[in-house]
Amino acid sequence: MIILYIISFIFIISPFLPATEHPHWFFRTADFVRLQSIAIEVICLSLLAYFGNFNAVFDVVLMALLFVVIIYQFLKVYRYSSLTKEQSIHGESEGMVSIFAANVLQSNNRYDLLLSEIESHDPDIVLIMESNKDWENGVSEIEKKYPNTVKIPLENFYGMHLYSKHELSNISTQYQIEEDVPSIFFDYKLTEGTNIFFACLHPAPPSPTENETSKERDAELMITGKIIRERNMPTIVCGDMNDVVWSRTTRLFKKMTSMIDPRVGRGFFPTYHAKYRFMRFPLDHLFHTEDLFVGKMERSKNFGSDHFGMYYEIHSKKKVATPKTKPLEHEDEERVEEILEMVSSTKNYCYS
């Protein structure tokens, strides 16, 4: 029972660590494992109910606390399940663009499996992350079908390659926060009167082996959010964000951009880790403005990476203009600036 008490106590306390807003990875990890910790908390509660003593105040209090924490965590994540109404509301389509986005894992060499996924989905745009020169060579055959490219081969697990069937404009490669972590921005002509602004991101995560804190990742999302607010046009943000959608940072990003998560009401679509079913988190995201909607959305088969890929079909709503972003509440505006200030003293970031 001692071990059960210790585990229960840990999982009663840890879900509230992200609420401290401390950027260190230790405090942010609990956000990633909410689904897993709910399962553990349910098991602990069940074991305590079976083996515990209902006449003992300590056991009863522990069970009550576990129940409260389970409800707290459920309220954090349930809207991203299929239990709620879809947020990406369908409308009359004016045009459609499809994108296949995948973190390929730099050390993975199953180029054939990824090529098979690309051929199967036949997207208009292919975005691959963690791609180096070997990956560039390994998938080079798709350039016959995707002649418009942006290539950033890196050996640090943050390379990025973009392939498009159609011509892109206003292409910009930015190193917004870290000098070796790129992002790709471009405009995609959907119809004669509609251009879509794409922001492709892959910020570094807070972890013991990468950045010690989430400051860099959080700041990249905030800078991108500022760009989106200023451009005020149909927009898609896509990539491996190394964050879960229910985190405070991602929710703040959605609030400042008024963007929609097509996952809401459809399911979690956990993309990492592809090889371990119990340790899967929804880290690969797509967000879009309200003048767009996502029709088809599906996860790829395993192609040897630690991530699954995601395929999306994004439609432009006919006769629906891009709504202007609402002014942020003072508290949220202060939080955005606080996140940017945390990196401004050590990073030379800029946005345009």
CA distance 15 to 29: 9
Instruction: Write out residues in the chain with pLDDT < 70, as ranges.
Output: 345-352
Burial of 198 (0-12, 13-18, 19+ CB in 10 A): buried
**Tokens at 134, concatenated:** 């070997």
Q: Where is 35: in which H helix or E strand?
A: helix 34-51
Q: What is the pLDDT of residue 114?
A: 98
Per-residue pLDDT, 164: 98
Q: Among 145, 83, 157, 91, which Cα is nearest to 118's?
A: 145
Residue 158 sits at φ, ψ, to 5 deg, of -130, 20
Cβ pair 281, 32 in contact under 8 A? yes
Of 280, 247, 276, residue with least CA distance to 261: 247
What integer pLDDT is reported at residue 197 of this predicted model? 97
Residue in this structure with the two tokens 């880790």, named with its chain if needed: 273
